[in-house]
């Protein structure tokens, strides 16, 4: 399987301190990773490197076969889907749901004429339908519920058919019903034919969708454990990561953690 992300001894220094510290990590195209770790562990920073938004202070990053330091970011970024709260804050609240998803295509095609308009509009509508948002296409983004906004962000990030999909806490702030619906949709998407490699950051093992394959555990910028889900999402490794005594149970591909 081709490698979509290869970090080799990557460190990121902020204000004189390493916030990512000697991380080496490989993600292949048929893998779907969850990244877990306490606040400030460096999860978002690593995702920003994978999104070609941040450069390492040292070490090397290869994304979709391109060396991050040497390639044209404007060619690379459209091949990567990225959804995060920081990006969502930049969406004008008055923008329609259809436009939020549709504008993801501009950065790829970089042009706008009748022919592309029709193709892109049809694709945006299809993506909205897939994420059960078709009936909201004409509503404004700012008027949606948190759960609907999260789904729109994901729909936008998959609009360009990315080769690598990055999701930073997609289920944060959702109520139980909205969380479960999102996880079901993410699990279905992850398991569908032709789905890209996915890296999803979360705070909760309960938010690992079915169909995910691997986990990276981070604490203080360093890797605590990485590998297949069932080997890594264990009481021992999570206890080391979060610094408290945790027990983990798994049932039907879903995980639960609680303190002893
Ligand atoms: N521009 C910056 N200047 C200084 N410190 C920064 C900067 N950006 C990030 N940091 C620090 O880097 C560390 C890692 O941040 P990061 O956002 O990657 O953590 P995280 O694991 O995503 O945390 P959270 O779970 O809270 O989202 C934090 O201690 C943060 O304060
Ligand atoms: Mg973060």
DSSP character at residue 57: S
Contact criterion met (CB below 8 Å) for 59 and 10: yes
Would you give the distance in Å from CA 65 to the centre of its chain?
19
41 in contact with ligand 1, CB cutoff 6 A: yes
3-state secondary structure 155-222: HHHHCCCCCEEEEECCCCCCCHHHHHHHHHHHHHHHHCCCCCEEEEECCCHHHCCCCCCEEEEEECCE
Per-residue pLDDT reduced to its tens digit, 175-188: 999 999 999 999 99
The predicted model scores a pTM of: 0.94
Give the per-residue pLDDT at 32: 97
Per-residue pLDDT reduced to its tens digit, 44-93: 999 999 999 999 999 999 999 999 988 888 889 889 999 998 888 888 89
Contact criterion met (CB below 8 Å) for 123 and 159: yes
Per-residue pLDDT reduced to its tens digit, 211-259: 999 999 999 999 999 999 999 999 999 999 999 999 999 998 899 999 9
Q: How far is the CA of 214 from the centre of ligand 2 (A)?
A: 19
Identify the domain containing residue 104 by its residue range: 3-259
Number of folded domains that form the chain = 1
Our mutation pick for probing the ligand 1 site, out of 41, 47, 169, 219, counting the most ligand atoms within 8 A of Cβ, is 41
239 in contact with ligand 1, CB cutoff 6 A: no
49 in contact with ligand 1, CB cutoff 6 A: no
Give the per-residue pLDDT at 112: 53
The CATH code of the domain that includes 128 is: 3.40.50.300
Rounded CA separation 246/259 (Å): 4
DSSP character at residue 141: G
DSSP character at residue 258: E
């Amino acid at each position: 399987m081709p490698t979509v992300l290869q970090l080799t001894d990557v460190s990121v220094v902020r204000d004189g301190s390493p916030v990512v510290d000697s991380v080496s990590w490989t993600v292949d195209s048929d893998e779907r990773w969850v990244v877990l770790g306490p606040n400030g562990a460096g999860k978002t920073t690593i995702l920003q490197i994978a999104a070609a938004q941040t450069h390492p202070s040292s070490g090397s990053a290869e994304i979709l076969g391109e060396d991050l330091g040497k390639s044209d970011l404007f060619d690379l970024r459209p091949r990567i889907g990225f959804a995060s709260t920081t990006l969502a804050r930049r969406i004008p609240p008055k923008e329609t749901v259809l436009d939020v998803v549709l504008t993801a295509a501009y950065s790829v095609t970089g042009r706008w004429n009748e022919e592309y308009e029709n193709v892109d509009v049809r694709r945006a509508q299809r993506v909205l339908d897939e994420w059960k948002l078709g009936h909201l296409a004409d509503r404004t983004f700012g008027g949606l519920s948190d759960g609907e906004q999260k789904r729109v962000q994901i729909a936008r990030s998959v609009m360009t058919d990315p080769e690598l999909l990055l999701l930073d806490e997609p289920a944060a702030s959702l109520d139980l019903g909205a969380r479960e619906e999102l996880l079901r949709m993410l699990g279905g998407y992850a398991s569908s034919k032709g789905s890209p490699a996915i890296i999803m950051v979360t705070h909760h093992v309960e938010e690992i969708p079915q169909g995910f394959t691997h986990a990276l555990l981070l604490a203080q910028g360093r890797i605590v454990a990485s590998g297949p889900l069932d080997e890594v999402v264990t009481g021992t490794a999570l206890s080391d990561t979060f610094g408290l005594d945790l027990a983990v149970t798994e049932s039907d591909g879903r995980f639960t953690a609680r303190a002893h």
